[in-house]
Structure 1
Amino acid sequence: MKGFGTAVPTIIGVILLFGLFRVFVPQSWILSVFTGNLFRDTLYGALIGSISAGNPVNSYIIGGELLHDSVSLYAVTAFIVSWVTVGFIQLPAEASLLGKRFALTRNLLSLVLAFFVAIATVLTMSLL
């Protein structure tokens, strides 16, 4: 319960920021980017998630709002998986600590796998 209590300010901040985002970025623009094409939506979701940074709980809130805006589950799943596993924003720090080659390889593999994991997850969910 203590962990949830410390996460509440972050969650409220994300909700407020997403409210501002919805004002400045209309749903029509979001739907023009995410057209319903399985591969393109999944790729865009993975790319956007990979350049985003923050706590994983933030990606769940944003993903829920994107689903509410009729963005495909493929895109949202790729977004969440890449948000958690890929860190292009943190790449310089990771490269300095773990080595450039390792950091690049890990991030690129995570990005590619986020694409396939998203598709496999949604297809598996459709079987249930």
Structure 2
Amino acid sequence: MSKLNYSKLKTVNKKTYLGLSDMLPIIIGMILLVSIITIMIPASYYNVLFDGNIIFDSIKGAVLGSILTGNPVTGYILGNGFLEANISLIAITSFIVSWVTVGLVQLPAESLVLGKVFAFYRNITAFMMSIVVSFLTVLILNLI
């Protein structure tokens, strides 16, 4: 068994600490921005936004989820509120999937950490897949 190299461990720990401390202000700013946007849009606005057209509602749900962004538990709570407001399941599903997979607000931070090209293509792909997944989910639920 090899010995633990404490000098390398110290260097790695220092680099990790510096990397995390550089990202912390970006993460805090991102969380604050998402919180402000989420609070600024009243719940009554969603009934006006989703008009019952499943194609446009799925796109609108994906766009809204991409902008607001949040953790899954909050998305499920919002989704339940949308369901109670008679918003289509396709719109709700695309909203929830994009809510947790697409992040326009955190795109600058993601670009810094993972690279601009990767972050851009990951978000575009996740956005398109949120719409596809919403249709497939509702299709499967209707078959059951």
TM-score relative to the length of structure 2: 0.69
The answer to whether structure 1 residue 111 and structure 2 residue 116 are counterparts is no
The answer to whether structure 1 residue 45 and structure 2 residue 69 are counterparts is no
Moved more, 89-98 or 46-55: 46-55
How many residue pairs align between the two structures? 108
Deviation at residue 30 of structure 1 after TM alignment: 2.9
Residue of structure 1 in register with 2:72 after alignment: 56
Q: Find the partner of 1:72 among 88, 93, 100.
A: 88
Give runs of ≥4 in structure 1 deviating > 2 Å: 29-32
Residue of structure 2 in register with 1:125 after alignment: 141
Larger Rg: 2
Name the SS for the 1:54 alignment partner: coil
Q: Find the partner of 2:52 among 36, 43, 59.
A: 36
Deviation at residue 81 of structure 1 after TM alignment: 0.4
Residue of structure 2 in register with 1:102 after alignment: 118
Q: For the residues of structure 2 that align with 1:83 and 1:33, how far apart are their CA atoms?
A: 17
**One-letter amino acid matched to 2:68:** S
TM-score relative to the length of structure 1: 0.77
Deviation at residue 127 of structure 1 after TM alignment: 0.3
Question: What root-mean-square deviation, in Å, do the aligned CA atoms of Structure 1 and Structure 2 show?
Answer: 2.1
1:13-45 CA-to-partner distances (Å, cap 9, x unmatched) read xxxx88x96xx543xx43332111110000000
**One-letter amino acid matched to 1:64:** N
Conserved 8 A contact 2:69-2:98: no
Deviation at residue 52 of structure 1 after TM alignment: 1.4
Q: For the residues of structure 2 that align with 1:54 and 1:25, how far apart are their CA atoms?
A: 16
**One-letter amino acid matched to 1:83:** W
Name the SS for the 1:51 alignment partner: helix
